[in-house]
Copies of this chain bind each other. A is one copy, B any other.
Amino acid sequence: MTSDHDFADVENQISEFSRERNWDKFHQPKNLILAAMGELGELAEILQWKSDSEVIDFLSTNDGRDRIKEEVADVAIYLIRICQTQNINFVDAIAEKLQKNEINYPVEKSKDNASKYTELK
């Protein structure tokens, strides 16, 4: 899917948003993790009592998808704030982790197999 936005612009908006409100002082790492937990909890709450088929029905509606979309964004914003406050580049962090995952989960061992790499023989 192509995006209508440049990711670097979005990152700048996030740091600018916090700077304008003098919120950097609240954004210690442990606080941001607690905040990410709060948002992930809201995401969980939306689907918690739905069966797999009810989840599919719910997410085939615009309203359902919008609710999920918003909570995913909330968690993501706090993850990006963790990175910004620690001088970590979010995209590079993901790219580097993907390289590790390529090594830890070779296709021939992981195909059709969701086991953690420590349990792959």
Q: What residues of chain A have their CB less than 8 Å away from a CB belonging to chain B?
A: 1-8, 10, 13-14, 17, 20-23, 26, 28-31, 33-45, 47-52, 55, 59, 65, 68-70, 72-77, 79-80, 82-84, 86-98, 100-102, 105, 107, 110-114
Secondary structure call for the A interface: helix
Smallest CB–CB gap between A14 and chain B, Å?
7
Q: Which residue of B lies closest to A51 (CB)?
A: B52
| Contact status of A72 and B82, CB under 8 A, knowing A31-B48, A31-B49, A34-B30 | yes
B-chain residues with CB within 8 Å of residue A72 when the two chains form the complex: 79, 82-83, 88, 90, 93
Q: How far is the CA of A88 from the CA of B74 in the complex (A)?
A: 14
